[in-house]
Structure 1
Amino acid sequence: MLLGLVLLETLIKLWAAAHLTPGSDRVLLPGVLHLGFTLNPGMAWGLLGGLSAPLAALRLLVGLGLLWALLTHRLQPAQRWPLVLVAAGALGNAVDGLTRGAVVDYLTSPLLDTVSMLLSRQAFPIFNVSDVLVSGGVLWLLVSSRRSPPQAAVDTAGGTRRQETP
């Protein structure tokens, strides 16, 4: 699944780089999701734009580290699927950073632009499926961690079990 997501994202980025130009605006879902194009050497809102190679290396390390943890079953079952999404997104953007020196971003959202303008007076950054995978995986982890029941822990002082509170 993880490698399939990375391959799919790589193919979409190849298509976007070949068929979209900066400033293009093709409607996918009116008012919600459009196609645009930019090569982003940094992160959202152009942050760390001069650090393309270190960002690509960091994304690669995160993706490979999560892949290793997934393959060696070092994660709780509830963490596996969200971390598959995070790893796929990290690897998808690492491939771009390592091969192009920038990440291909191709999705825009007028709806997110409106919300972002109200909150920060800036348009929401153009993004890609890798960004959605990372954000979705992190959100999934946050939501699932809030819904997890308290777990019993060992009291190291007395050897008795107690309930941890969230």
Structure 2
Amino acid sequence: MEPAPREVLLFTLDGQRYGLPAEDIRELVRAARLTPLPRAPDVVEGLLNLRGDLLPVLDLRRRFRHPPRALSPLDHFIVARAGTRHVVLRVDRAEGLRVLAPGEWDATPRELPGVGYVAGAAKLSDGLVLVHDLRSFLSEAEGLQLDAALGSPAETP
């Protein structure tokens, strides 16, 4: 069983709050224009050129069944690690890091049917926040399709 994260990055998407373990976060950047990536899986919105690194931008709206929305200059990009691959997540707003107090972590949601990509839940005073596990965000088939679209296997920068 994975240890509970000590900190989570909270973010909003279509009015709902989500979280990611802080240890998976590399940096936050403002939204920028994306380059389409032909033959990429549907969950890939495009490529971001971040200081010379071409990173796939994952479409959380599609994955979490939110309505699509055009890229806005007010959106935030979360650069994160998904297993051995660095990816970018487009979110409406990154709220910031939250240090979890003892008793604020619950690993139970990862066991619920139909709740994929979840490491657990942060039980905060203002509500429950599902914390997502990016290692399981892409299926094996999607990872292989993304590697083919990028022209090389995933590498850790």
The TM-score with structure 2 as length reference comes to: 0.29
Q: Which has the larger radius of gyration?
A: 1
The TM-score with structure 1 as length reference comes to: 0.28
Q: Which has the higher helix share?
A: 1
Q: Which has the higher strand share?
A: 2
